Amino acid sequence: MTDLLFTNARLIDPEAGTDAPGWLHVVDGRIAATGGGEAPAPGAGELLVDCGGMCLAPGIVDLGVKVCEPGERHKESYRSAGQAAAAGGVTTIVTRPDTAPAIDSPETLEFVTRRAQADAPVNVLPMAALTKGRQGREMTEIGFLMDAGAVAFTDCDHVVEDTKVLSRALTYARSLGALVIGHPQEPGLSHGAAATSGKFASLRGLPAVSPMAERMGLDRDIALIEMTGARYHADQITTARALPALERAKANGLDITAGVGIHHLTLNEFDVANYRTFFKLKPPLRSEDDRQAVIEAVRSGLIDIICSMHTPQDEESKRLPFEEAASGAVGLETLLPAALRLYHSGDLSLPQLFRALALNPAKRLGLGSGRLTAGAPADLVLFNPDAPFVLDRFKLKSKSKNTPFDGGRMQGRVLATYVAGAPVYRRD
């Protein structure tokens, strides 16, 4: 393992909240020291990396990535997802269990863990299903799955409708200290929805769901967290209506965090104007007022985590009428340049962005990464925040190309990605 000395860097430290010139020293795959003055001379055998004034930040920890193994490897494999992550500055992907079959047994979990270790150049942490088959009827063997390496438990967008089943699962998870990730949505109201209710959805003739469905789902989950004391993370909070409930739950001392997908932070309901199915997401894109409210929640820290909600879909499932098309978009490679839109618009600083992209997800999962402090793993991303480009979806490393940013003007390029001090991506 080669030791590294990064010099002439713009260090983005989300823990200290600083954005300042400096240097960073890596020894044996871990950060040994950082500083703001003149860099020390490199030792014998150390590799000097001149960052040229570019940004050096903790690698992104992406919570909620779908890799389609087992079952739909043609959409995304661990190899392609790992390459896309490395190209996007993502050093740790936390994978969802909504595969075919679902990851609901230690055997399936061990299979995907072996595939990830063999094929992915970045860290891969698997989540497991909360209920068997993600069907909401019988909880999985949470203890055995934790022993096999599951870092959290979720049924993804299959909301557990039976409150008794969910309360038992939360109680059991609480006894083991397991993290449960929920999808705040009232399933009856949201079933079949392709847009958010309002004038725009009515004019387009799209089946829609009220933003209150998210608030109702979150209210139920908060009540169950209060009853059971479980550790809980809401995968996506996308509406202003849900924010007061989240704020009250945190103020009351509940062990709750919340995330939001990058597409809901940077796009709104008007982006689906021409029925382009790459903009069909779950939950659907919201109003501009909701988008602004959620950005403010990220800025204040009420919403803790920004993720890609990477959901590969093949061409056949997207080339359908908007109402019938599959939901979801790929995001591993576009997460950072899309997030930098919020930096360039003045909504969030770079330390605030990386607090939500790297530090907070790492802290929620009990990882040592996501920071630039001595002793932390040297999982790093070097990027130029100002480099402009037009996104071509066919150049993405993901097998699936369903990105809403296709043809979009982006600003911010990943130059290199390091995992445990080893380069896993360098831009040509």
pLDDT in tens, 226-236: 999 999 999 99
pLDDT in tens, 345-387: 999 999 999 999 999 999 999 999 999 999 999 999 999 999 9
Distance CA 126, CA 9 (A): 33
pLDDT at 335 exceeding the cut of 80: yes
Distance from chain centroid for Cα 30 = 24
Burial of 325: CB neighbours in 10 Å, binned 0-12, 13-18, 19+ = buried
The average pLDDT across 217-224 equals: 98
With bands split at pLDDT 50, 70 and 90, how would you rate the model's confidence at 44? confident
Decide the pairing of beta strands 409-419 and 380-390: antiparallel
What pLDDT is attached to residue 43? 81
pLDDT in tens, 75-132: 999 999 999 999 999 999 999 999 999 999 999 999 999 999 999 999 999 999 999 9
Burial of 107: CB neighbours in 10 Å, binned 0-12, 13-18, 19+ = exposed
pLDDT in tens, 257-281: 999 999 999 999 999 888 999 999 9
Burial of 428: CB neighbours in 10 Å, binned 0-12, 13-18, 19+ = exposed
pLDDT in tens, 46-82: 899 999 999 999 999 999 999 999 999 999 999 999 9
CA distances from 417 to 137, 304, 350, 425, 427 (A): 42, 24, 17, 5, 9
Is the pTM higher than 0.85? yes
CA distances from 378 to 30, 71, 213, 218, 257 (A): 5, 33, 41, 36, 26
CA distances from 13 to 127, 371, 385 (A): 28, 7, 15
